[in-house]
Amino acid sequence: MRLLLISTAAVAAMMTSPCAAQEKPDFSGFRLEALGGYDHLSGGGDGKDGFVYGAATGYDAALGRARLGLEGEITDSTVRQRDVDVLTAGDRLRADAGRDFYIGVRAGYVLSPKLMAYAKAGYTNARVKTRYTSGTVTTREAENLDGFRLGAGLEYAISPRFFVKGEYRYSHYGDQNGEEIDADRHQVMAGVGVRF
């Protein structure tokens, strides 16, 4: 959350500061983004919905009309699940989706002077926090889920430096601290960003 606030403040400060304008957007260089959207996390047949928010940074290189880059992201989510009578009568289990780190590559193609389509792929590490209460005893744990992410989207330049984007991405988590699991995540994201 702190990173999201810092990123948003940085974008707002750059919007109000004078700068030398480029002639036209070229979808290359360093970028900083604020993100938000829909989050659906499922495992073992059960699925829960929530809101995902965070910040991303990256660098894109121009290769003709193609763009190739690296990116990193940190997000958090409101997805949570509550269960009662899990192991014994009256017990309670709470599971919350926590922070999610992502690092990957992005390949794009400039469709028009203001529009670029892109695809992305990379590694994701999500945290799930659980709290189990039985009687007067409460146990808390935080587990890390390792997986991969695939996605695609569109980026639209609203000025030479500022842009908005929308993307869909799918993440699959097959490992939880060395143990095999089968969890899927679907997200529909919107973003606003600035290029340097």
What confidence tens digit (pLDDT) does each residue in 149-161 have? 999 999 999 999 9
> Are residues 39 and 77 in contact, defined by beta-carbon separation less than 8 angstroms?
yes
* pLDDT tens by residue, 77-112: 999 887 777 777 888 887 888 899 999 999 999 999
- Does 65 map to a domain? yes
Predicted TM-score (pTM) of this structure: 0.80
Q: Assess if residue 43 is contained within a domain.
A: yes
Query: Does residue 126 lie within any of the structural domains?
Result: yes
Residue 36 lies in a domain: yes
Residue 22 belongs to some domain of the structure: no
| DSSP collapsed to 3 states, 147-181 | EEEEEEEEEEECCCCEEEEEEEEEEEEEEECCEEE
Q: In angstroms, rounded to a whole number, what is the distance separating the alpha carbons of residues 125 and 146? A: 5
Number of domains in the chain: 1
CATH number of the CATH domain containing 127: 2.40.160.20
Q: Which two tokens stand for residue 62?
A: 């121009």
Task: Specify if 67 maps to a domain.
Answer: yes
Domain hosting residue 122, numbered range: 2-17+27-195
7 part of a folded domain: yes
pLDDT confidence tier of residue 61, bands split at 50, 70 and 90: very high
Whether 186 is in a domain gets the answer: yes
